[in-house]
Chain A
Amino acid sequence: MRRAAITLVMAAAVYEGIARSGYFPAALLPTLPAVGRALVEGLLDGSLPGHAASTLSRVLFGMGLAVVVGLPLGILMGRFRPIENFFLPLASALMPIPSLAWVPVFILWFGLGNATAIGIVFYAALFPMLLNAWSGVRSVNPLWLRAGSAMGADEQALFWKVIIPGASPFIITGLRQAFLRAWIAVVGAEMLAASDWGLGWVIFDAKEFLKADLMLASLAVIGLIGFLFERLVFGSLERTTVQRWGMVRAAKG
Chain B
Amino acid sequence: MPHIEVRNVALVYDTPAGRVTGVQAASFDIEQSEFLCLVGPSGCGKSTLLNIIAGFLAPTGGEIRIGGKAVTGRGMDRGIVFQDFAQLFPWRTALGNVAFGLEMKGVPKPERDRIALQQLQLVKLEKFANAYPHHLSGGMQQRVAIARALAYNPSVLLMDEPFAALDALTRDDMQRLLADVWRETGKTVVYVTHNVAEAVYLADRVVVMTPYPGTVKCQVPIRLSRPRDPLSLEFLDHQKELLRHLGDQIAKA
Contact = CB atoms under 8 A, between A and B. Distances in A.
B84 A143 contact: yes
A245 to B, nearest CB: 5
Contacts of B101: 151-152
A141 B87 CA distance: 8
A234 to B, nearest CB: 18
Interface in A68-94: none
Given A146-B56, A150-B54, A150-B78, A245 B91 contact: yes
Nearest to A153: B104
Interface in B148-207: 148-149, 152
Interface string B114-151: 00000000000000000011110000000000001100
Contacts of B90: 245-247
Given A150-B74, A150-B79, A143 B152 contact: no
B135 A246 contact: yes
Contact of A151 (B84, B86, B104): B104
Interface string B75-105: 0101110101011111100000000110111
A168 B91 CA distance: 9
Contacts of B54: 150
Determine the main DSSP class of A at the interface with B. helix
Nearest to B55: A150
| A: interface residue count bin | 20 to 34
Nearest to B133: A246
Contacts of A152: 74, 76, 101, 104-105, 152
A147 B133 contact: no
A141 B76 CA distance: 22
Interface in A202-226: none
Contact of A162 (B79, B89, B135): B89
Contacts of B89: 144, 147-148, 162, 165-166
Contacts of A165: 89, 91
Contacts of B79: 150-151
A149 B79 CA distance: 11
A245 B86 contact: no
A247 B74 contact: no
B132 A245 contact: yes
Contacts of B76: 151-152
A244 interface: yes
A141 B101 CA distance: 18
Contacts of B74: 149-150, 152
A244 B131 CA distance: 10
A147 B160 CA distance: 12
Contacts of A147: 80, 82, 87-89, 148
Contacts of A242: 91
A121 B152 CA distance: 48
B111 to A, nearest CB: 16
A47 interface: no
Interface string A119-146: 0000000000000000000000101101
B100 A148 contact: yes
Contacts of A241: 91
Which 5 A-B pairs rank lowest in CB-CB distance, beginning with the nearest?
A246-B134, A151-B101, A152-B104, A165-B91, A245-B90
19 contacts: A146-B80, A147-B82, A147-B87, A147-B88, A147-B89, A150-B74, A150-B149, A151-B76, A151-B101, A151-B104, A152-B74, A152-B152, A153-B100, A165-B89, A168-B91, A245-B91, A246-B132, A246-B135, A247-B91
Interface of B: 54, 56, 74, 76, 78-80, 82, 84, 86-91, 100-101, 103-105, 132-135, 148-149, 152
Given A144-B87, A245-B91, 4 more contacts: A146-B56, A152-B76, A152-B101, A244-B132
